[in-house]
Structure 1
Amino acid sequence: MSPQTQAMQRDDTQNPAMLWVQDGAALWERAPNPSAKACAGCHAAATTSMRGVALRYPAFDAQLKRPVNLAQRINLCRERHQAAPPFAAESQELLALESFVALPSRGLPIAPPNDAKLQAARERGAAQYRQRIGQLDLSCAQCHDERAGLKLGGSVIPQGHANGYPLYRLEWQGLGSLQRRLRNCMTGVRAEAFPYGSQALVELELYLAWRDRGMKAEAPAVRP
């Protein structure tokens, strides 16, 4: 990442992702319907109540008996506690709330839960990370572990850390989730991308969080 992009990320007055954070702050205070509480009605000030929360996702959901990521947790809260429909995957509203919830954890170390109920899913995610896919017959590990720093298609291959999502990507000219980036990688190697919200994507996210454990959270970050 260039010094200019790093400077943009560090300065909240220049970081474009802060526009989504502002929208998320408004959604936090707004009840989705007259009979429901706003997020703030249950959780009060996000600066304190949400500090450290994003670092623990994906996490195991007892009712669903499977891991869910932060965006899915937000939608489950809407359905279970606000009698509101879930936001669409990758919608501006969902990205705004996710970035707002993630912001108080910025600078803290990624801390995925050491939960035995997540172990099998994490192992499946690790296997996916090493699995060759697509017409290019490449795995995540081959690019981001073995070839990080080299070039593919004229672009420098990053180490593939997921500690900045949701993030503003200059290529997208907008905010996007980790699942959007994973799907882009899949189509980039000419493989069929998993659907948004699929368990396979969540399991891959789960492994990436474990891979990033101890790194400082940067969300909402900026990337090229």
Structure 2
Amino acid sequence: MSRFQWGFRVLGSAVLLGCLLVGMLAVQSFAAGFLVDDNFNGDPVGAKPAGYEIEETGGKVGVAAFPSEAEKSLFLDDPGDKVIKVTKVFAPQSGTVVAEIAFLQPVVSSTAKVIRLLDKEKANAAVHLETRSGAKLAYKNGDGSFTEIGDYQAGVWYNFKIVADVAAQKADIYLGNELKLKQVPFLAPVKEIGALDSYTPGSSARGHYLDNIRVAAE
């Protein structure tokens, strides 16, 4: 092998190694950018999800082999009339918070809280999405009214994304890839967003599944 060929091979290997290292760092940086990143696939069926505060009076919360053993989710099982709730606390953010969640209800029921974004004290909800009668998905406004963002069916996954701007006290709400509400005012003013929760209606035997819960700061 000539020196030129040897040098070219070494240079090529160095370039390839450099590309791999950059790629690895980019992936690590991307993963590190999430405040919350939970898909429950690595958790045992029936386990309580790590890092969540759980209220399950009259029901239970656990990881479920749904839709499959490989693709698990979190089930809030409500067999009665109690509130079954999960809460996740994360580092408080005063800028823009992007939250994503997948939601499925086996049986259509109103007033299930799909997701709320809360202040760090968990006392005030900046953003509040829930199911409403007539199989509707809706955003709760500051005056207590609701703005519908779409219909839903039992047994179907729905993916939500919320882009919440704390400085502006407004949010963009996406259902799937479609922007449903643009710059809608927060339900209540907050100085920071530092938690999310989801819970069952509290008025009937209805549960729901959650999956792919992600929170990031922009």
Which category describes the TM-score, using the shorter chain as reference length?
A: under 0.3
Q: Normalising to structure 2: TM-score of the pair?
A: 0.25
Specify which structure has the higher proportion of helix: 1
| Greater radius of gyration (CA) | 2
